[in-house]
Amino acid sequence: MEASVVLVVLFLAAAVRGQVFDYELYEQALDEAECERQLDYLRTNFSSTTIKFLDASGKIPVGVTAGNMHDLGDYYMCLRISEQLEDMWLRGKWCAVIVPLDQLQRRLPARRSRDHVTTLLQIRDMQREEANLKNVPFIDHVDNRVIPSLTATTGLTLGVCVPRACRAARAVGAALGVLGPLGRNITVNESFCRLPNDKPYVAADYVAFGVIAVLGAVTVASTSYDVHHTVLKKRHPSSSRALYRSFSLYSNTRRLLTVGPGAPGALDCVDGIRAISMLWVVVGHTFALTLSMPVQNLVIAMEWIRSANSIWLTAATCSVDTFFTLSGVLCVYSTIGKVNRTQFIKYIPLFYLHRLLRMFPLLAATVLLQASLLHRLGDGPQWASMAWAVQTCRSYWWSALLHIQNFTNVNEMCLGQAWYLSVDVQLYILCPLVLVWLCRPRAPAAPAIPPAPAPRAGPLAPRSATAALAVAVAASLIAVSAYSFSNNWPASMLNFARLRNMSTYMKKYYMNTLSRASPFCVGMVFGYWLHVCRERPLVLRRRVHLPIWAASLAALALIIYSVYPTTTAGEDQQLLDSFLNSYTRAVWAAAVGWVVLACAQGYGGPINWFLSLRAWKLPARLSYGVYLLHYPLIFLSNSSAIHSHYFSVSESMYRFWADLTRATVAALVLGVAVDAPASALQKMLFTRLQPHGKSQKKTESQETAAAEDISKANV
C-alpha cells in the first residue's frame, strides 16, 4: 500500500510541467529608460562599479586559433554586483552573446600578416560544414554523443555582465561604441540571460521534497525496528516482520555488500563482463560530455578523436551490444529450466510484470531527481544545458517510464541514456515468441535430490528450440540487412564526413529496436546452449576450443578496430558501412556469448578466473543504478563549470574516476533506500497473490522464482 501511494505521488509530481527558469522575472527586469540612464552613468563615470561590470565580462577567448570559441566571464561575480548609486540601483545580469565570425573579414583592419584571420576563417568554415549537426538528436540541446561544441553558432560565445534593466545586445553595443567605427559595426546576438534566484519552485519540487521526507521517515522507523530486534535483542531476523524491516538500511546494506560464492549454476563470469562493460559506458560518456562543453583546444581534441589512439574510446558503443547479448542470454537461461511450455504461456503477464516492476523504482527515482532536485544542486554560465535536461524529464517523463522514447521523443529524451532501456524492454516483450518454443512441452518430472541431474527435456523440445532460435536469428539478420542496405546509414556516429546523415542515423538506426535485435537473439541462442549444458556438459578438446577462443578474440579486436576507418569513410565506402551495420553486432554478440559459454563450462582458464572474481560482484549489482545515475551526474558536474577547460586524455580520465565514484555512491544510496525495499515489497506482493493449494502453489512459485531470477539477472 505504501509503495502504491509513493508511485502515485511520483506520477503526479512528474506530470507537472513547471518552467525551469522564471522567464517573467527576466521580462519584468527590463526597462529601456532605466537602461539608458545606467549605461550613460557607466560610460561617464569610470568607477569601481564600471570596472566590476567589465571585469566580469568575457573578452576575446584565449586559444581561438586552437578552437576555443568561448569566454564565459565571471558568472558569480556578475550576479553579486549590487550597488546603490545616487538615484539608481545597479545590479548585474549575466548574458551569453554570440559574436558572428563572418564579420571578421569585413571589419578587421588591414595588417601585414593575415594568418590569424585565415585560421579564424578556417574555423568558421569547419563550423559551417558541420552546421547540420544541429539536427542530430541531443546535439541541439547539448546533450549528445558526438561533439556539440562544433555545433555552436558560427561565432564567439561570450559571457557579458550588463545592467539588470538592459538587454545584452544594447549594453554590448554601447560598450563597443567607445571603440569608434570598428566597434559600432560589430553586431552581437543575445542567446540567453541569467539573474539571481531565477529558478522557480514548481509542484515537482515540492512533491520530491515530500517523497524524500516520507521515505526518510519510513526508513528511520524501519531501521530502528530492525536494529532493536536484531542487534539489541539479538534475535534472528526471520523472527521479525519482513514488512517492518523492508526499508531497513541495516539489513539492506548488509545484504547488498555481502559477497559470497555463487549459487550452483550461476554464471559468475557475467558479473565481470557486466561490470567492465559499465566502466566502458561511463568512460565513453565522460569523454563525450566533456567535449560537449567549451574546450580551449578543440582542434587538438578533434584530431585525437579522429586518430587511432582513441579507438578504445570511440568503440565504447560496442558495450551496448554486450548488454543486449547478456540480456538475451539471461532471458533464456533463467527461465526455461523452471517452467514448462503450458505454465509459461499462462504466466506471461507475470513474466512481464516482474520485469517492469524490478526496473521501475530506480528509473522512477532517477526521473524524479532529474526533474527536480538536480536543478537545485548547481548553477553556472553553462547551466542552460542542465536546465534543458530537467525540462525534458518534466515534459516527457511518461515516455521514459513506458519505455517508448526511442520512437516518440527522440530529440528530447528524459535521461538520454535511457533509450537502451526502451529497446531492451521492447525486445523483452517480444522474446516470449521464441521462449515458448524453448520450454519443455510438458510438465517436468519431480526434481531429483541433489546432486542427481535434472530431468531431461521432452523429445520435441530440442527440435522446436533449434527451429525457433534459427528463425529468430535469421529473421533479425535479414531484417537489419535489408534495412541497412536500403537506407545507406553511416556505420559510426563519429563520421564527420557524413554529418548530414547523422540525425536520421541516430533516430532511425542507432536507437532502433530492429538494429539491436540481432545481438539479443544471438544471446538467446547461447542462453539455450547454457541450459542444455546443465544436463549434458559440453566436452571439447583443446584443438577445438582454442581455435574458437582465437576466432572470438580476433573478432572482438577486429570489430573494435573497424570503428577507426568508419570515422573517416565517405559515401564512396557505403558498402562497407552497410555491411558493418548489418553483421558486426551479431558477430560481437557471438564472441561475447562464447566467452560466457566457455567460462561456464570450464574452458575459460585465466579469463574465467578474472571475470569471476568476487571483486566484480558489487559493481555488477550496482550496474543498473550506475547506468541510470552516471549520465545526469556527469551533466550536473559539467554544467556547473564556470570556464572552458583544456582537454587532455589524462585530465578526462581523472574526470572519469570522479564521475564513476559519484555514480557508485549514488547508486549505493538509492539501492538500499529505494531498490531493495521495492524488491522486498514485490516479493511479498506476489507471495500473497499465489493460491493456497499446495501443488498449484508449488507450480506458481516456480514461475514466480523464474520471473524474479530473470528480472534480477537482466537488471
DSSP string, 387-398: HHHHHHHHHHHH
pLDDT tens track for 283-302: 999 999 988 888 888 888 88
- pTM attached to this predicted model: 0.85
507: DSSP letter: I
pLDDT of residue 504: 81
pLDDT tens track for 509-539: 999 999 999 999 999 999 999 998 888 888 8
Give the residue among 401, 386, 437 at the shortest CA–CA distance from 633: 386
For residues 193 and 95, the answer to whether their CB atoms sit within 8 Å is: yes
pLDDT tens track for 559-585: 999 888 887 766 668 888 889 999 999
Name 76's Cβ contacts closer than 8 Å, sequence gap at least 6.
642
| CA 168 to each of CA 98, 158, 256, 358: distance values in angstroms, whole numbers, following the listed order | 10, 11, 53, 50
* Mean pLDDT of the region 76-80: 93
What H or E segment, with its residue span, contains residue 8? helix 2-14
Query: Which of 41-55, 455-469, 546-560 shows the lowest mean pLDDT across its residues?
Result: 455-469
pLDDT of residue 50: 87
Cα Rg, the chain, nearest whole Å: 29
| CA 382 to each of CA 104, 163, 480, 492, 637: distance values in angstroms, whole numbers, following the listed order | 26, 20, 40, 28, 10
Residue spans per domain, the chain: 22-194, 311-647+691-714
State how far the Cα of 488 lies from the Cα of 501, in Å rounded to an integer: 9
Please state, for a pLDDT cut of 90, what percent of the chain lies above it: 44
pLDDT of residue 664: 96
Given CA atoms 618, 620, 621, 624 in this order, what sign does their dihedral have? positive
Q: Residue 660's pLDDT band (boundaries 50, 70, 90)? A: very high
Name 714's Cβ contacts closer than 8 Å, sequence gap at least 6.
326, 327, 330, 331, 355, 424, 428
Name 310's Cβ contacts closer than 8 Å, sequence gap at least 6.
304
| CA 306 to each of CA 303, 315, 435, 497, 562: distance values in angstroms, whole numbers, following the listed order | 5, 12, 43, 11, 13
pLDDT of residue 175: 79
pLDDT of residue 178: 59
408: DSSP letter: S
Identity of the amino acid at 51: I
pLDDT of residue 180: 54
| CA 90 to each of CA 34, 367, 381, 714: distance values in angstroms, whole numbers, following the listed order | 10, 40, 21, 58
Query: Does residue 10 register a pLDDT over 70?
Result: no
Give the chain's end-to-end CA distance (angstroms, integer): 24
| CA 206 to each of CA 14, 371, 697: distance values in angstroms, whole numbers, following the listed order | 11, 11, 44
State how far the Cα of 567 lies from the Cα of 472, in Å rounded to an integer: 31
Task: Using DSSP bridges, classify how beta strands 155-163 and 70-71 pair: parallel, antiparallel or unpaired.
Answer: parallel
21: DSSP letter: S
How far is residue 579 CA from its own chain's centroid? 27
Query: Which of 572-581, 604-613, 629-638 shows the lowest mean pLDDT across its residues?
Result: 572-581
For residues 339 and 432, the answer to whether their CB atoms sit within 8 Å is: no
pLDDT of residue 2: 43
What H or E segment, with its residue span, contains residue 163? strand 155-163
295: DSSP letter: B
* Mean pLDDT of the region 324-344: 89
For residues 605 and 352, the answer to whether their CB atoms sit within 8 Å is: no
Q: Residue 62's pLDDT band (boundaries 50, 70, 90)? A: confident
- How does DSSP assign 619-663, residue by residue? HHHTHHHHHHHHHHHHHHHHHT--S-B---HHHHHHHHHHHHHHH
pLDDT tens track for 698-713: 444 444 444 444 344 4
Average pLDDT, rounded, for the chain: 82
Name 43's Cβ contacts closer than 8 Å, sequence gap at least 6.
174, 178
167: DSSP letter: -
pLDDT of residue 671: 93
Query: Does residue 169 register a pLDDT over 90?
Result: no
Exposed, middle or buried: residue 233 (CB in 10 Å: 0-12, 13-18, 19+)? exposed
State how far the Cα of 547 lies from the Cα of 47, in Å rounded to an integer: 79
pLDDT of residue 114: 43
State how far the Cα of 268 lies from the Cα of 612, in Å rounded to an integer: 5
The 10 Å Cβ neighbour count of residue 616 is 22
Exposed, middle or buried: residue 111 (CB in 10 Å: 0-12, 13-18, 19+)? exposed
For residues 147 and 290, the answer to whether their CB atoms sit within 8 Å is: no
For residues 490 and 505, the answer to whether their CB atoms sit within 8 Å is: yes
For residues 515 and 588, the answer to whether their CB atoms sit within 8 Å is: no
pLDDT tens track for 94-147: 999 988 876 655 544 444 444 444 445 555 544 544 444 344 444 344 333 333
Query: Does residue 644 register a pLDDT over 50?
Result: yes
pLDDT of residue 576: 86
Query: Does residue 693 register a pLDDT over 80?
Result: no
Please state, for a pLDDT cut of 70, what percent of the chain lies above it: 81
State how far the Cα of 191 lies from the Cα of 147, in Å rounded to an integer: 20
